[in-house]
Chain A
Amino acid sequence: MRESIIMKIHYGTALAAVALVAVHVLMRLTQSFSESLEYENVIANYQFIPYAGMLEIILILLSIHGFNGLRVILLELKQGKVYEKTVSYGCLAAMVGLIAYGSRTIIMVNMGMV
């Protein structure tokens, strides 16, 4: 993939994540902070489909943005064909892994499999 496409995705995910993370954080302020973290309230959040959907989108956006940023930093630190391929595919794998792991939590709680 051309670097300009990757960086447009990087910027796009950043802008989209800003708005959604703001909503996520503000949800903690709809009740008192400690109340919002109680088990029943957290489960209720996950089982509210629009909110769960939003969490899923945040997970994907921030995984892409974060691991691409890490890839950029690692590519600048050291160069070489093997190293660069390892870093790029490693970050991609970590990104997919984190999305899968986080999605598992969201989907299972949303479906009441807790």
Chain B
Amino acid sequence: MGHQDENKEGIGGMINPRRYGIERVAYLLMRLSGLGLLAYFIGHIYETSKILQGEFGWNEVLEITQTTEGHVLLAIVIAMCVFHTVNGIRVMLGEGGVGVGKPARPDYPYIPASQNARHKMGIYSAIVLAAIAMFYGLGVMFGE
């Protein structure tokens, strides 16, 4: 529980994807993939700077990255990148009011129009495409 006075759920509430459907899962995955990609990006900029040390420095870097662990990590990065991109486009469109339904007089059982099949399909597509890209990447890296 967060600070008692405000009774905030805290980070546990922010990262709990269990109670509210796939959209909440997508929100959590978006955050995790974003942070993961930022960490990879910083590492990538550092890693590629090693080329300034000449061929020796560059090969030293390749000895770390061109390993099984390096390839698995890169495959995860590919998955995160594809998910973050596809879901990001879905979120951008949604946040602009595209595909969230039209206001109408609500009627029981009050199904929310914004939580519609189009956005759910967008999320599932992002997950599936991320998986496909990951396996394709694994195929390319381990196939040689």
Interface residues of A (CB under 8 A from B): 11, 14-15, 18, 21, 29, 32-34, 37, 39, 42-43, 46, 59, 62-63, 66-67, 69-70, 73, 76-77, 98, 101-102, 104-105, 108-109, 113-114
Residue from A11, A33, A105 within 8 A of B48 (CB atoms): A105
B49 touches A (CB below 8 Å): yes
Minimum CB–CB distance for B44 against chain A, Å: 9
Between B31, B38, B59, the greatest number of chain A beta carbons within 10 A of the residue's beta carbon is seen for B38
The answer to whether A18 touches B31, judged by C-beta atoms less than 8 angstroms apart, is no
With known contacts A70-B38, A98-B45, A101-B45, A39–B58 Cβ distance under 8 A? yes
Q: Interface residues of B: mostly helix, strand, loop or mixed? A: helix
Chain B residues with Cβ below 8 Å from A98 are 41-42, 45
A69 with B92, Cβ < 8 A, contacts A59-B45, A101-B49 known: no
Contact partners of B126 in chain A: CB under 8 A: none
CA distance A98 to B81 in the complex (A): 20
Given contacts A98-B42, A102-B49, contact A37 B59 (CB under 8 A): no
Q: Which residue of B lies closest to A22 (CB)?
A: B85
Residue B34, interface by CB 8 Å: yes
User: Across the interface, do B11 and A77 meet the contact criterion of CB distance under 8 Å?
Assistant: yes
Report the separation of the CA atoms of residues A18 and B85 in the bound assembly, to the nearest whole angstrom. 7
Chain B residues closer than 8 Å to A59, beta-carbon distance: 45
Q: How many B residues touch A, CB cutoff 8 Å?
A: 29
B90 CB to nearest chain A CB (Å): 12
- Chain B, residues 9-42, CB within 8 Å of chain A (1/0): the string is 0010010000000000000000100110110011
Residue numbers in B under 8 Å from A70 (CB-CB)? 34-35, 38
B contact residues around A33 at 8 Å (CB): 140-141, 144
B71 nearest CB neighbor, chain A only: A33
* Interfacial chain A residues near B14, Cβ < 8 Å: 76
